[in-house]
Amino acid sequence: MKICIVTGSNGLVGSSAVEFFLKKKFKVIGIDNNLREYFFGKDGSTSWVKKINLKKNNYDHKNIDIRNYKKIENIFKKNKNKIKLIIHTAAQPSHDWAAKEPLTDFTVNANGTLNLLECTRIFSPKAKFVFTSTNKVYGDNPNKLKLIKKKTRFELSKSHKFFRGINEKMSVDNCVHSLFGVSKTSSDFLVQEYGKNIGLNTIIFRAGCITGTNHSSAEYHGFLSYLVKKSLRDKSYKIIGYKGLQVRDNLHANDLVKCFWQFYKNPKIKGEVYNIGGSRYSNCSVEEALRQVEKIKNIHIKRKYINKSRTGDHKWWISDIGKFKKDYPEYRLTYNTKKIITELIDFYSKNKLGLNI
């Protein structure tokens, strides 16, 4: 049976990948030690997703830290050429948390990625390797765009070259990244190098805000999921910087996993980078998201404004996914922001505002 390894298998993207590739008749080896609970406390715990995963046929869970090379090596050594796909989603994902423990952040994000790449090179060199990177590799360069302040959001003029979204040509240099942005950029470059230089079938997805009901969201990670959860639970929401006008594109985890499948079926250039996100199809500002929740639930959400913005936070981000759609013309987004928010509201309402709370 062909094997798919998924790191961060109890996280948002990882759990969606587990479900998808089990349906595609893979055996899935999931690697996740719930380090997210250490990062974010009870809200961040993925133990509830693990319970769901363990009930699935052909799923084998490994409670392993990706920084432990020997244990990662043992998995690859045991399965070698049976491993056809590695989906690497495990990470420390927060700007704010990285500043508290830079060594932990860097070793998880960069060293952990290097461990997986080396084991792929040595034991499973024909496997495809998917890496979930981030738009934070571009640092605060998006904030240097000439933005227009509108009533509910920042926006670009329709004549701007990035109006349809930011593409892969934006520079990653001469900007403030945050320490998290630096560790993810390091791992992003490693995955590129193992493709372009060493010859592995790697691909890098620089994502905007990924979301969905499997998100163990917390204040400092999981924007849309946490916004909905907090708004329903407390009828209030803390807006950090920019008065809530900052724009995010929102990509449902299920739509991202479909990108992985397109790549697996037909890999193109080794080490290729793609910006991926909701694009113009699915995006909103923080304020617009709150208004959407208010409208759907007929409630009022109290805003608490924090003037100081987070280091490396983007005022405006919409992904231009044209490059990926050109290379994989079958790909289609199926979730827009309204559909995502409605799904999250239904989920939290039915599950007493979250199984992990």
Task: Give 326-333 contacts, CB < 8 A, sequence gap 24+.
Answer: 327/268, 327/272, 327/274, 328/259, 328/262, 328/263, 328/266, 330/262, 331/258, 331/259, 331/262, 333/251, 333/255, 333/278, 333/279, 333/281, 333/282
Return d(Cα 137, Cα 133) in angstroms, integer: 8
Cβ contacts of 198 within 8 Å, gap of 6 or more: 121
Provide the phi-psi class of 172: left if phi over 0, else alpha when psi is between -120 and 50, else beta: alpha
CA neighbor of 217 nearest in space, from 207, 206, 228, 208: 228
How high is the pLDDT of residue 353? Answer: 58
What is the model's pTM? Answer: 0.96
Q: What are the tens digits of pLDDT across the range 148-170? A: 999 999 999 999 999 999 999 99
Average pLDDT over residues 124-147: 97
- Three-state secondary-structure class, residue 249: strand
Structural domains of the chain, with CATH:
3-350 (3.40.50.720)
Tell me which amino acid residue 222 is.
G
**What percent of the chain lies above the pLDDT cut of 70?**
98
**What percent of the chain lies above the pLDDT cut of 90?**
94
Q: Which two tokens stand for residue 134?
A: 């981030």
Q: What are the tens digits of pLDDT across the range 110-130? A: 999 999 999 999 999 999 999
How high is the pLDDT of residue 14? Answer: 98
Return d(Cα 296, Cα 67) in angstroms, integer: 43
How high is the pLDDT of residue 140? Answer: 95
**Which residue has 């738009």 as its token pair?**
135
How high is the pLDDT of residue 193? Answer: 98
Return d(Cα 355, Cα 342) in angstroms, integer: 18
- What's the chain's length in residues? 357
Return d(Cα 67, Cα 112) in angstroms, integer: 5
Residue 213 has pLDDT above 50, yes or no: yes
Residue 201 has pLDDT above 80, yes or no: yes
CA distance readout (Å), 295 to 228, 281, 303, 345: 12, 20, 15, 12
Q: What are the tens digits of pLDDT across the range 221-249? A: 899 999 999 999 999 999 999 999 999 99
Return d(Cα 252, Cα 257) in angstroms, integer: 9
CA distance readout (Å), 16 to 12, 19, 44, 258, 293: 7, 5, 17, 10, 24
How high is the pLDDT of residue 355? Answer: 47
Q: What are the tens digits of pLDDT across the range 249-280? A: 999 999 999 999 999 999 999 999 999 999 99
What is the pLDDT of the chain when averaged over all its residues? 96
As separate numbers, helices (DSSP H) first and strands (DSSP E) second, the chain gives: 13, 14
Q: What are the tens digits of pLDDT across the range 295-326? A: 999 999 999 999 999 887 899 999 999 999 99
Instruction: Give 114-139 as a DSSP string.
Output: HHHHHHHHHH-TTSEEEEEEEGGGGT
User: In the 3-class helix/strand/coil scheme, how is 25-61 assigned residue by residue?
Assistant: CCEEEEECCCHHHHHHCHHHCCHHHHHHHHCCCCEEE
Q: Which two tokens stand for residue 305?
A: 């404004």
Average pLDDT over residues 270-292: 98
Return d(Cα 93, Cα 96) in angstroms, integer: 9
Other CB atoms within 10 A of residue 101 CB: 15
The dihedral built from the CA positions of residue 62, 354, 289 and 139, taken in this order, carries a sign that is negative
